[in-house]
Structure 1
Amino acid sequence: MATPLMAQYRRVKEQHPGSILLYRMGDFYEMFEEDAVTASKILGLTLTSRNHGEDAKTPLCGFPYHALDRYSAKLVQAGRSVAVCEQTENPKEAKGIVKRDIVEVITRGTATAPEVLSEKSNNFLVSVCKSGDRFGFAGADVSTGEFFCADMDSRTLTAECEKLSPAEILVPDEKPGDPVLAQLREALASALFTPIEPWRFSPDSSYRDLVAHFRTSSLEGFGVEPFKAGIAAAGVLFNYIKEQKKNRVGHINRLAAYAAGEHMQLDGATIRNFELVTPLHEEDRASTLLSVIDRTQTAMGARLLRRLTVNPLLSRDRIIERQDGVAFFADNTQVCATVRTALSSISDIERLTGRIGYERVGPRDLVALRSSLAKVQEIEKILAPVDCPIIASAVHQLKGTEVISNRLEQAVRDDPPLTLAEGNIFKPGYNADLDAIVAGSKTGKEWIASLQAQERERTGISSLKVGFNQVFGYYIEVSNANTAKVPPHYIRKQTLVNGERYITEELKKWEEVVLHAEEKQIALEQKLFAELRTWLCSHAAKLTEVSVSVALIDVLACLAEVAIQRRYVRPEMDESGEISIIDGRHPVIESIGFIEEYVPNSIEITGSGEFIHLITGPNMAGKSTYLRQTGLIVLLAHMGSFVPAAAARIGIVDRIFTRVGASDRLSKGQSTFLVEMQELANILNNATSKSLILLDEIGRGTSTFDGLSIAWALVEHIHKKVKAKTLFATHYHELAEIPLLLKGVKNFNIAVKEWNDEVIFLRRIEEGACDHSYGIQVARLAGVPKAVIERAKEVLNNLESSELTPDNKPVIGRSVGSRDSEAAQMSLFEPLGDEAIAFLRKIDLNVLTPVEVVGKLVELKNRLSI
């Protein structure tokens, strides 16, 4: 029969059978049975066993309570959900077994521990449902309180989810086969997909739940009323968070309309190929655009900049407004430096507010919040005179924090303990009852502190000591040599090897005063802290507002700092659909600092001129860099950032498409060529005349003729149907003939210089086509063996001559000597021609004299003009 403890454990476990249950026992979290076996492997804990009143011993493992965040983070990162079970009553007051209950369930999408979260990126939880041909979409970051929803089509849904890169996605638990959800699973393979009962996705019940939480009569004030499916998804998402956090959701104080239409839609391929926020290779962390432009001083600013990078603006007015903010800081460098210094001392107010909401905030967090608000007020004063609209609006949102900072200043000590259990959190004067308890405790401690000197003088025992331990409390210790001098009113309490410990009635009285006062102090401080936390939660909306404004100011000052350091210029933005970049530079490559000097390049795409640029040139010459450079400059301009160029004029583009690099998805049975064609199909089906298309090699994964045919037809289709601004880098030199047939196409090449059989890359783009790829020279630079290089030259010459051998075989297969001899040693001499070989084959050495042989050699020499 199971013990009462195990019976209680199993009752609690039944509430969340799929989660690993962390069961609080004193100062430890214990795991039992299958949970213990699983967790011990993930956490590297020793697995033991214990008899709990049953025939078989129960497996168990555990860790100290203060390591909860660290160990729960490991379990969540391993893909497991964690249910935290706490003691819900004081063990000293418990009758029988201590009451316990689950206080939190942690999943990938609801995790809030710093060990799980990245300071510079959000941890999004997303909910998706289908309604007709539309999809409901909702997202939230539990750690910050952000919450938003929308209705959208399937294409937009996938693109927006890829931008958010959610940790967890809630989907209806329906029969598999929905193509959109399948596409979502493929695009977001690293996310945890959590099935939810379909009946929960009810627009009506979701609406009621959200209105009840926000205490409003409708959702109209949030701007989400039209999103029926989005509201259904939002309701499911909110209730999921509420269930996991056990109703601690006070920091989620608003629901925003997710305005996907206000931002440039970037698909997953473009985000990956551009390496906007994540490198293609893990070791190349410095190769992302974000790594170059992120000079933010706060965690909130870093997260905002990351979102802005994948959400460029489409509104010219909003872009210019943001540019104005960057320009102010760039033009006022001293103000910028002062503001950035203040920003560097601001903690993550956004996540501190979240910790207040789900009741995980500690005393030192409140000190960090107080000092951060002081810096916010400092920034408010510095920027108050500024008349730049975007900055003035942000500064206005910073006002009104004094009521919060003053309350914290009155309440919390400057150096509080780490946890509530240690006490001594509040300042004197904050609460009269607390002051009285502390005063009583202080009096008792002072009496006890003076007792040692008094008793030494009274008894004449100079070695007498007054001490304390958790088991016996306060005591008077006397060595064995002095026990004869002990007064009769001393009461023996403990015998030691070298002496005796005693207590007196008076010491016992003061001990009760001190210890009871400490218990009362900690209990009252915990109550006062909970009240302060609730009060702060009522101001969560203001703290969130401040967080948003601080983040925006941080980003504007950051982009100004980058512009100054990197010599970026403010681009002119218009609706012309044209692109003009003078001496543009690749923002990432120039920041890395290669040995050779970076060569800037220009581009001009006008409305009336050639809008398709065919770019040819050698491998390694810089075609791909030129394409990416152009795309990144256009993207930065739409972010409201300055750009790496001498000057730029950018017409608003609705989307940027890229097809660069070669990759396959063998695990899904998709070859490099298939992936390439899928990305190309996406471009051709979705690009418009306002789009920018960047193509780097099309058709490499198939035969030359197939690839050339596809590339040719592609250019014709873009020219006649799509009419998008297009840069197409290619090795198919045959495409250089297209400008003779299509007016909107123009040839460009990356210049090179040949010198002493060497190729010098000039990195400069010029008009006209390039007729050589210089692949053999690049192979030599890569370290390909000389024998292969020489043979490649020979084959290339044969190909270019387009000759046939006497037996009508392609000359490409002809080599010098036999294959075996060539494999052993390459020839040191020039190969003989066909005429010489035919002449030698006619000679019969068996009938010639030595003199005649010499004559034949002379004749051969004359024929070859040697």
Structure 2
Amino acid sequence: MSDATGASPAMAQWFAIKARHEDALLFFRMGDFYELFFADAHAASGALDIALTHRGQHQGQPIPMCGVPVSQAETYLARLIRRGFRVAIVEQLEDPAEAKARGAKGPLKRDVVRLVTPGTLTEDSLLEAGRANYCAAIREHDGRLGLAWADISTGLFETEATSAAGLLAVLGRLDAAEIIAPPELELGPFAPKRVDISRMALALPAGEEGARRAIAHKFHAASLEAFGDFTAPEALAGATLLAYLTATQMGAEPRLSPPVSAGIQGRLAMDAATRQSLELLTSRAGEEAGSLLASVKRTVSAAGARLLASWVSAPLYNLPSLTARQTAWLALRDSPRLDDLRDQLKGAPDMARALSRIALGRASPRDLAAIRAGLKLAANLGPLLPQGAPLLDAASRPLTPAPDLAVTLARALAEPAPLRLEDGGAIAPGFDETLDAERALRDDTRQIIAAFQSELAARYSVPNLKIRHHAQLGYVLEAPSAAVEGLRAHPELQLRQGMANGARFTHPELAALDQRITEAAFRAGARERELFAGLIHETLAHARALAACAESLALIDVLQSAAQLSRTGRFVCPALSEDESFEIEAGRHPVVEAALPPGERFIPNHATLSAPQRLMLLTGPNMAGKSTYLRQNALLVVLAQSGLPVPAAAMRLGLVDRLFSRVGAADDLASGRSTFMVEMTETAAILHQAGPKSFVIVDEIGRGTGTRDGLAIAQAVLETLHNANRSRAIFATHFHELVQLAEALPRLKPFTMKVKEYRGEVVFMHEVVEGAAARSWGVHVARLAGVPEAVTKRAETLLKAAERTSAASSPLPLFASLPLAPEPAPPPPSPLAEQLLALDPDALTPREALARLYELRQTARAMHSAPAQTRSSPARDDFQAKTD
């Protein structure tokens, strides 16, 4: 891009603003368009598929330009934000007519009024109604990381401290739209969302104490401790985030709830790989359809959908909180008013996002209408809620936050409210007499003129006196020739123009009426804006109570959603405890079941990982349902610890502290990692972090390398899970040889996917039964996939030959099961010791005793002179015998 040398005044203004916002596209307001220039124009024209033109010249070269209408700006902004751009909105800060009237020289005053970034959106057209939109900041302090995140569209503000190893798990849970982080911090798959903090001139407070003071000042508190216990990294991250939000809003203060340290709330830990494997909020295609959330969502409001997503994304590890959720939706399930409650909630507006726009000065009449509708709805919900469930009782208390405001908004706002204040008609007739009079003058000009004409005709006794509008003279009185002389006698009437059949007069009252009519639209708009600003001020006075009311509406919606699920009879309330039990009776995969065609039934399966059996070894062919069964049990844990009903006949669960899923194969080519390397990295994370209260599902460990290597790795991992981690786990494998370990590992029990052969065909029963698979049926699956018949027949021939060979020579035995920390084998008894033990001293004569002593000395000499030999352990001898 060129420098500003030789630029026109308007372009010099553009260069000056661009220098302050180099990483953003400038939406430069010029009349009814936002114009983009130079490199911005090239980038935007390609992203928006709009024409690239030129405007004037700069330094002898045409200036590239494109533009979008101001009235359609949100549509284009949405497309740019989805493409990852940041946009600076440059507005005209003065009215062109006023600037011209006062003789102002040079271009209109312009400046950035807002930075539109992915993490700071508030407009409904730019946001997903059912998903939170987080902006996150990360700071490091003394080897620990602090995160703070906010959704300025709803006001949520939370923090958490974590280690470098746990960072990606937190980011995976948040799925933030934008991350403010130092450049040296490794963000993995979240790097494209990074904003480099080192390139931003943020007004950051100095040190930890400065950060604490900055946050406390934002929320009008004496100290940050008023809101809870926050670590130093959390305070630094929180202050950084607040500074960034202030910078992007150009000083406007977003409405945020007081900060909450999410780290003090017990949560079920899941790393990024587990979240991706389980498809909690979105499927692999990036859509909500096909996710766990979609399969259980019965919410009817946008706020409820967002809260349900947060429950599913961040399950709890806190028994009292989970019990409170269960008690609440069970009370709703049994309530006779549940259907009435659901019908009421269907009309729930998004109060939280409306309130956020109101706080930022971006309110439309429909935002106030959303507050009005929300208040009316909330007042109707109270009588529909059953009493006695603590969470429901707490949710009912904020439902009448501002009765006087509800009355005022009901009287003041038109129904329906217009989309924009500029369109007029936001204030209802009858609310303000002055506004009504201005509107009447603006809208009823003919009636007003006719009434005044009748009044003047009677006053001057001229029945055919007329009021006309003249292009040059404005409103005038037209009188017939016979009445002209009489009218000239009235000093207030001034003759302005003669006509062939009469004359035209002006009148002071008529001139005043003319001016009032001309200015009526302006005055009506100004009065409406004044009244609207008053309503905004009154609404913000109740902002905290309104936010609490919005949270209650969302919570009630999530609880009724759970109650609706439970009422189907196919979802039950799990029995939760703090022990290590794990029993699922007739569990089902919620996503797969929801996708089945009508009439098809999902085959349920049990799962028992309670003591003494804590480790299930699952064998069976591909396509038989192993992966479905693995994920099914993990998803039921997620639902249970989200406080939601589960698809099963019954479930008893000791709370899981960490959930790991290593199911499915994928590479990471961008990082230079093969499929096997990714598999081993994820396996290492499990073995390092899983404990007795964890739940682990793994599939096909060791299949990405040579058969012997793979079997050795699979066996070692299985033994470690059993002996060291002692986790509740399901270990699926095609290495059927591992079933033999059940004799050596007491907490392991083999299961398999049931398969039947019928008339030469293989039938997958999708049932998990005790036992081991005899075959993998891989050739059969290849045939199902459409592999040419010649290939599958040849494969069958080779397989049968290999099976005959292996039966004879056993080329791939199970590796000997050795203790993780083997104890040294006891030394074998020596000949000297054997002879000593055989002696009976009491039965020997002195001569016999002396003779035996000489014999023993001879034996000792012989042993001392013999070379040292190593004796193998029985386990190793057994392994050697199998491999020879």
What is the TM-score of this pair, normalised by structure 2? 0.82
Structure 2 equivalent of residue 374 of structure 1: 376
Instruction: Report SS of the residue matched to 1:693.
Output: strand
Instruction: Report SS of the residue matched to 1:105.
Output: strand
* CA gap 1:347/1:490 in 2 versus in 1, 3 angstroms: farther
Q: Distance in 2 between matches of 1:272 and 1:360?
A: 36
Does residue 75 in structure 1 map to residue 60 in structure 2?
A: no
Q: Distance in 1 between matches of 2:216 and 2:610?
A: 51
Q: Distance in 2 between matches of 1:803 and 1:322?
A: 56
Aligned with residue 546 of structure 1, among 544, 549, 556: 549
Q: Distance in 1 between matches of 2:63 and 2:659?
A: 59
**Superposition map of 1:25-174 within 5 A:** 25-51=30-56, 55-94=60-99, 95=102, 96=104, 97-173=107-183
**Larger Rg computed on CA atoms:** 2
> Letter of the aligned partner of 1:8 in structure 2?
Q
Structure 2 equivalent of residue 447 of structure 1: 448
Is residue 296–residue 558 contact of structure 1 (8 Å, CA) maintained in 2? yes
* CA gap 1:54/1:694 in 2 versus in 1, 3 angstroms: closer
Is residue 475–residue 514 contact of structure 2 (8 Å, CA) maintained in 1? no
> Letter of the aligned partner of 1:36 in structure 2?
A
* CA gap 1:47/1:356 in 2 versus in 1, 3 angstroms: same
Is residue 298–residue 562 contact of structure 2 (8 Å, CA) maintained in 1? yes
Structure 2 equivalent of residue 365 of structure 1: 367
Structure 1 equivalent of residue 605 of structure 2: 601
Structure 2 equivalent of residue 497 of structure 1: none
Q: Give the Å deviation of 1:760.
A: 1.1
Is residue 452–residue 466 contact of structure 1 (8 Å, CA) maintained in 2? no
**Superposition map of 1:207-356 within 5 A:** 207-224=212-229, 226-259=230-263, 261-282=265-286, 285-332=288-335, 334-356=336-358
Structure 2 equivalent of residue 778 of structure 1: 781
* CA gap 1:701/1:585 in 2 versus in 1, 3 angstroms: same
Q: Give the Å deviation of 1:375.
A: 0.8
Does residue 729 in structure 1 map to residue 732 in structure 2?
A: yes
Q: Distance in 2 between matches of 1:474 and 1:342?
A: 55
Instruction: Report SS of the residue matched to 1:262.
Output: coil
Instruction: Report SS of the residue matched to 1:599.
Output: coil
* CA gap 1:356/1:46 in 2 versus in 1, 3 angstroms: same
Q: Give the Å deviation of 1:2.
A: 4.0
Cα shift readout 1:586-628 (whole Å, capped 9, x = no counterpart): 1111221257532111122222x12111111121111111111
* CA gap 1:619/1:260 in 2 versus in 1, 3 angstroms: farther
Is residue 638–residue 652 contact of structure 1 (8 Å, CA) maintained in 2? yes
Is residue 203–residue 243 contact of structure 2 (8 Å, CA) maintained in 1? no
Q: Distance in 2 between matches of 1:132 and 1:418?
A: 51
* CA gap 1:602/1:453 in 2 versus in 1, 3 angstroms: farther
Q: Give the Å deviation of 1:580.
A: 1.1
> Letter of the aligned partner of 1:234 in structure 2?
G
Does residue 690 in structure 1 map to residue 693 in structure 2?
A: yes
Cα shift readout 1:387-432 (whole Å, capped 9, x = no counterpart): 1111111111223232331221232222343222233322345445
Q: How many residues align?
A: 779
Does residue 519 in structure 1 map to residue 522 in structure 2?
A: yes
Q: Distance in 2 between matches of 1:79 and 1:227?
A: 32
- Please tell me the root mean square deviation across aligned C-alpha atoms, in Å: 3.4
Q: Distance in 2 between matches of 1:56 and 1:618?
A: 69
Is residue 474–residue 503 contact of structure 1 (8 Å, CA) maintained in 2? no
Is residue 128–residue 169 contact of structure 1 (8 Å, CA) maintained in 2? yes
* CA gap 1:649/1:804 in 2 versus in 1, 3 angstroms: closer
Segment of structure 1 superposing worse, 130-139 or 447-456: 447-456
Is residue 613–residue 726 contact of structure 1 (8 Å, CA) maintained in 2? yes
Q: Give the Å deviation of 1:581.
A: 1.2
> Letter of the aligned partner of 2:420 in structure 1?
T
* CA gap 1:526/1:239 in 2 versus in 1, 3 angstroms: same
Gaps of 5+ in 1: 479-483, 493-501, 811-866
Is residue 652–residue 690 contact of structure 1 (8 Å, CA) maintained in 2? yes
Structure 2 equivalent of residue 828 of structure 1: none
Is residue 6–residue 52 contact of structure 1 (8 Å, CA) maintained in 2? no
Q: Distance in 2 between matches of 1:759 and 1:49?
A: 69
* CA gap 1:472/1:189 in 2 versus in 1, 3 angstroms: farther
Q: Distance in 2 between matches of 1:603 and 1:171?
A: 43
Q: Distance in 2 between matches of 1:804 and 1:592?
A: 43
Q: Distance in 2 between matches of 1:308 and 1:239?
A: 29
* CA gap 1:454/1:38 in 2 versus in 1, 3 angstroms: farther
Cα shift readout 1:349-402 (whole Å, capped 9, x = no counterpart): 11011111111111122122211211111112322x511111111111223232
* CA gap 1:718/1:102 in 2 versus in 1, 3 angstroms: same
* CA gap 1:379/1:804 in 2 versus in 1, 3 angstroms: closer
Structure 2 equivalent of residue 194 of structure 1: 196
Q: Give the Å deviation of 1:537.
A: 2.1
Q: Give the Å deviation of 1:23.
A: 1.9
Cα shift readout 1:18-54 (whole Å, capped 9, x = no counterpart): 3211122222222233322332222222222233797
* CA gap 1:450/1:4 in 2 versus in 1, 3 angstroms: farther
**Superposition map of 1:421-432 within 5 A:** 421-428=422-429, 430-431=431-432
Cα shift readout 1:468-510 (whole Å, capped 9, x = no counterpart): 9xx999789x9xxxxx9xx999989xxxxxxxxx997787653
Q: Distance in 1 between matches of 2:541 and 2:794?
A: 78
Segment of structure 1 superposing worse, 540-549 or 728-737: 540-549
Is residue 73–residue 113 contact of structure 1 (8 Å, CA) maintained in 2? no
Q: Distance in 1 between matches of 2:133 and 2:654?
A: 34
Structure 1 equivalent of residue 748 of structure 2: 745
> Letter of the aligned partner of 1:338 in structure 2?
D
Q: Distance in 1 between matches of 2:60 and 2:406?
A: 60
Q: Distance in 2 between matches of 1:400 and 1:804?
A: 78
Structure 1 equivalent of residue 820 of structure 2: none
* CA gap 1:566/1:40 in 2 versus in 1, 3 angstroms: farther
Segment of structure 1 superposing worse, 92-101 or 115-124: 92-101
Is residue 297–residue 305 contact of structure 2 (8 Å, CA) maintained in 1? yes
Structure 1 equivalent of residue 561 of structure 2: 558
Q: Distance in 2 between matches of 1:576 and 1:409?
A: 54
Gaps of 5+ in 2: 1-5, 486-493, 498-503, 812-884
Does residue 664 in structure 1 map to residue 674 in structure 2?
A: no
* CA gap 1:777/1:250 in 2 versus in 1, 3 angstroms: closer
> Letter of the aligned partner of 1:193 in structure 2?
V
Q: Distance in 2 between matches of 1:803 and 1:773?
A: 15
Q: Give the Å deviation of 1:210.
A: 2.0
Structure 2 equivalent of residue 397 of structure 1: 398
Is residue 265–residue 318 contact of structure 2 (8 Å, CA) maintained in 1? no
Segment of structure 1 superposing worse, 431-440 or 751-760: 431-440
Is residue 24–residue 87 contact of structure 2 (8 Å, CA) maintained in 1? yes
Q: Distance in 1 between matches of 2:288 and 2:46?
A: 31
Is residue 26–residue 90 contact of structure 2 (8 Å, CA) maintained in 1? yes
Q: Distance in 2 between matches of 1:684 and 1:423?
A: 65
Structure 2 equivalent of residue 581 of structure 1: 584
Cα shift readout 1:79-123 (whole Å, capped 9, x = no counterpart): 221111222223222132432222111111112232321111111
Structure 1 equivalent of residue 875 of structure 2: none
Structure 1 equivalent of residue 838 of structure 2: none
Is residue 396–residue 552 contact of structure 2 (8 Å, CA) maintained in 1? yes
Q: Give the Å deviation of 1:199.
A: 8.8
**Superposition map of 1:620-639 within 5 A:** 620-639=623-642
Q: Share of identical aligned residues, percent?
A: 35
Q: Distance in 2 between matches of 1:355 and 1:128?
A: 26
Structure 2 equivalent of residue 8 of structure 1: 13
